[in-house]
Structure 1
Amino acid sequence: SDLDDLPTMSDSNHTGAFFFLSGLPGLEVVHKWLSIPLCTMYGASRARNSLILWLVKNLHEPMYLFLAMLALNDVLLCTVTVPKMLIIFWQGPSPSTYPACLTQMFFVHALFLSESAVLLAMAFDRYVAICAPLHYATLLTGSLISKVGLALLARSVAVVTPGVLLILRLHFCRSNVIHHTYCENMGIAKLACNSYALNSIYGLTAALLTTGLDFVLISLS
């Protein structure tokens, strides 16, 4: 197959190395057909979220800032993943350099965590609005919401950065084919020649303490 003819990571060093993203395993024959609804949904998502951002900008209401954060997060997450997916669906396995793959991995995980955090912030925003309506305007000011947004961003960066550093310690000498449409932590780690147990432990722990905890707190709110 085409994937069998691709060079391995042993052919080059880390800085000049590259991975091949193969797409959706088992669905290669329908990649071109899948690109049609994917492209349509991407365009619709960009248009919808851009409209939300424009409306929030003109409303000037602090209560809508979290909605704007969520819309911006959606736009960025789609932009980081979908164009590369479309290239894979249209042209087959697509190469991605080692730095580019790590960069995409960082933004995908950071944006996924920040989306979870924004949903949590929105849940507690509604909790305050329902349980303390008379104090809502004084408690949740535009300044406070901006600080919360920065804190959520800092949390995402702080959680994802160690994951990237753990990838950097790995050595690759086998296949460089990632059976996915984008670079993600464990997809890269499983290609390593040395042990990636620490990557697995950290990834699971980070997921439980961030998105897992966010889900519990959203439910409680």
Structure 2
Amino acid sequence: MSRLRPAALALAAVALAALLGGCGGDDGAGTQSAAATATTTAHAEGRPVTDEQALALARVLQQNWQRGGARFTGSVVVHGTAIPMSGRADFRSGRGTATLREPGAASRRYVWTRRAVYAQSDPGSRRYAVQRPDPDGDPVHAAIALINLLSAETIDNTANIQDQGARFLRGDTVDGTPVDVYRYRSGGGATYAIGRDDGLLRQLDARLPAGELVVTLTSHEPVRVAVPEGQR
């Protein structure tokens, strides 16, 4: 068995917290009171995970790594509008691609690596604008950052997961597949829907500064993503 380490899911939660923390500061007692109320509500929601459930959480990101990649659908909020998206991610190389389809407008394709984001200049164009990753300032980049965190080479530390207040929220289904839904870190801004039978991550639902991000993994398989021609 792989040696346990307090890394994968914890890093994803920390990154999410950093994205959320980048939105505004402390206004004073009123803001602190609202935050305390939200935290109390989150603590009351669901129940602490069992040892078996903690193990499911500990393994979920390694499962993505072992399968190499995934295809996904979902939506990300941009300027107050939820934009449908679909794409694929190569978890081992850190590359991915997504096409966003804004209602009433032409679709736009994004390709990314660990160092850059390539945004299609015009619909159907072979030209891409090279962008420096900016998850704090660009909601699409924030979505990309979280998608890239959905895998890990080894399993996480179950004790760390329990210490961070992971909670089982409910049983549910995603595209007809029975799942268990968890929130990692009490008061955290993301929930993970994990297949009850296979332990695979089926859906991530995260609250980002710009609005909700939903990523539904529709397949778990190796994928290849090429950097736009002439951009290597």
TM-score (norm 1): 0.24
Q: Report which of the two has the higher share of strand.
A: 2
Larger of the two Rg values belongs to structure: 1
TM-score (norm 2): 0.24
Q: Report which of the two has the higher share of helix.
A: 1
